Amino acid sequence: MECHTLPFKDECEKCFVAMSSKDVERIEIFSSILTKHEITEKKILNGDSFSSEDAAIVSEKLTELSPEGAKAVYSELIGTSSDKDWRDWRVFLQMIFTWEEENKDKRQFLLKLRSITFADESDADKIQQIVNSHIKGYYQDSSPSEPIKNALYLANRQLQAKEQLIQKMMANIG
């Protein structure tokens, strides 16, 4: 069944039928927050914009790249290639702020970051870790026939399966 991005589509009958009592409570809380606090038009509700903490964490992680990898990231996102001190996190923080002047979406930044090809495999792994830790709700781009390459994603799926199994066993006991 298809679901809408936002959980409060009253006019959609499928959404209305699929809602549980917990969903109704969450919607009421969410609606009360929205009415109490006016949301500006430019603010993104779903947390896709960069906070200063996010930008600082990402820029700090980018200093761990090799000089070639750091230069590739900088030139891909800013469009210019120049010699900088690639161990200085402020270079990357400024890069994020410059990029964000035109692009407000954090996911766009992270997806662009993930699309960069690196000569060094460890740089590619570090970028993948940065992207996975900052994208909420990981979306896999590969087709179902391709093997899943993300170890963190696999571990998370295995953990979810184990938790579901434990819940079923507990339900059978009680």
Q: What is the pTM assigned to this prediction?
A: 0.48
Q: For residue 141, tell me if it sits in a domain.
A: no
Domain that holds residue 32: 1-38
Mark whether 126 and 60 lie in a shared domain: yes
pLDDT tens-digit profile of 56-86? 788 888 888 888 888 888 888 887 777 777 7
Mark whether 129 and 164 lie in a shared domain: no
pLDDT confidence tier of residue 127, bands split at 50, 70 and 90: confident
Task: List, in sequence order, the alpha helices (H) in the chain.
Answer: 13-18, 21-36, 52-62, 67-78, 89-102, 106-115, 121-134, 151-173
Terminal-residue alpha carbon distance, the chain: 31
**Among all chains, which residue has been given the structure tokens 């590739």?**
72
Q: In angstroms, what CA-CA distances link 81 with 75, 76, 99, 116?
A: 5, 8, 14, 14
